[in-house]
Amino acid sequence: MLLSTLVSFLVLVGQTPGSTDSSEVLASSTRIESTWFAGSYQQALEAAQAEQRDLLLYFFADGSAQCNRMWTETLIAAGDNGDLEAILNFGVRVTDPEGVELTRKFSVTTLPTILIVDSKGLIVDGVFGFLQLTEFQSQLARIRTGVGTLRSLREAMESDPEDLQKRFDFALKLDQLGFSKESQAEFRKIAASDPRGKSEVGAQVLLWLAQAAVVDSASNPGDPASFDLKPIYELLPRLKHAPVALSGWEWIERIEGVRGDRKAVRSAIRSAWEHMPSDRIRESGMRGAWTFWDMREELDRKEKRFALAMAREAWSLAEEEIEAGRFEVFDVEWAAWQPHPLDILGSALYLNGKRDEALEALERSLSFDDSIPQRRELRDLIRGE
């Protein structure tokens, strides 16, 4: 796929994205002049049509650190390695008049952005942000072989328009590439074909459309406090596919957390737990039980029992891993320190009046690692010291 017939990309842009002098660029790369097209976008497209090649569009801005890195660390090296010889390459400075037009045309919102378009100007696929050379090469290889590209997904959908999964995959790719209006149109076609969400794809689309409507109808879409969550609360119990229901309740938990409704957060955690897959029990059980511990002054008896149930299941899985010699302590974002599953079990036992069992769990946690002061502080708290 990659190549070009350029007289000089630097003639087009004057400088590379980070204001690197053109002579420095040419000195650092002997193949730059043969890998980028100089001229207008229309001329580049016509050249791609004549040569039956796809066209790589590199969107950048002068003075952007990430664009500068993409150029100097990745694209120059890709040119030197011959990675850019099967496609026609074209630079788009987003502040140029033509660049402004192309940025709008292709809905570019992230810099740097690289889009591959076919000889008709239709998007094949894209990558966003700075990529190391190896990752860029991997993405080019994926696009070259048609794996998960917009073009291949469009072709698959058009070959079987009634297949909701294929339409969903296509719509999702449109959304990822920034074509939200077009993706919403495809999602609505799915919703029209499966208005009750009987299929998992149909259920997922119903949830997404409902979430989008909540945000769009808010008086301040940037402030979750203005969201009317009633439609989501009414929809979720009707969704019979566990992965979709789980994602919905976890969304509710995040929104209610931002809104500061702690009771609603706990309720959402309980509802999400009903749909939790086995491979997420350990982490989700730890996080859920620890969230309840942080809110311990507000819990009723039922909530305390539920916290203990989550903690017990999480510890059961962790204990199996310890016995098998494959236990790993993973970093968490939901606690100020790194609690062990036994710390969480101990806290939940204590909430339920099982002080001796709680202290036994905490002492065992310390036997694994007593270097974390918060573990000793938790034990001392439960001791009453």
Q: What is the pLDDT of residues 191-241, one digit of tens each?
A: 999 999 999 999 999 999 999 999 999 999 999 999 999 999 999 999 999
Averaged pLDDT, 58-81: 93
Sequence-separated (6 or more) residues with CB below 8 Å from residue 213: 231
* Alpha helices for the chain (secondary structure H): 9-13, 22-28, 41-51, 65-69, 76-81, 97-105, 133-144, 150-159, 164-176, 180-193, 200-217, 230-235, 242-259, 262-273, 281-294, 301-323, 341-351, 355-368, 373-383
User: With contact defined as beta carbons under 8 Å apart, do 47 and 37 qualify?
Assistant: yes
- pLDDT at residue 34 in the model: 54
Residues 6+ apart with CB under 8 A from 368: 340, 342
Q: In what order do the strands lie in the sheet with 55-60?
A: 88-93, 55-60, 113-117, 123-128
Residue 325 predicted with pLDDT over 70: yes
- Give backbone dihedrals phi and psi of 128, rounded to 5 degrees, phi first: -130, 145
Asked if the model's pLDDT at residue 256 lies above 60, the reply is yes
Q: Which stretch of 146-150, 164-168, 291-295, 366-370 has the lowest confidence by average pLDDT? A: 366-370
Looking at residue 204, its pLDDT comes to: 96
- Nearest Cα to 344, choosing from 299, 311, 382, 377? 311
Closest CA to 111 of 157, 59, 62, 151: 59
**CATH superfamily of the 9-145 domain:** Glutaredoxin (3.40.30.10)
What predicted TM-score, i.e. pTM, was given to this entire model? Answer: 0.75
pLDDT for 294 beyond 50: yes
Domain ranges of the chain: 9-145, 148-191, 194-275, 277-385
Domains 9-145 and 277-385 share a fold: no
Q: Is the pLDDT of residue 261 over 50?
A: yes
CATH number of 277-385: 1.25.40
The whole-angstrom distance between residue 336's C-alpha and the CA centroid of its chain comes to 24
In angstroms, rounded to a whole number, what is the distance separating the alpha carbons of residues 84 and 82? 5
Q: Closest Cα partner for 106 from 183, 44, 177, 181?
A: 177
CA–CA separation, 95 and 67 (whole Å)? 13
What separation, in Å, do the N-terminal and C-terminal C-alpha atoms of the chain show? 70
pLDDT tops 90 at residue 81: no
Rounded mean pLDDT, 28-37: 55
Q: Which residue has the tokens 């987003």?
A: 94
More confident residue, 29 or 325: 325
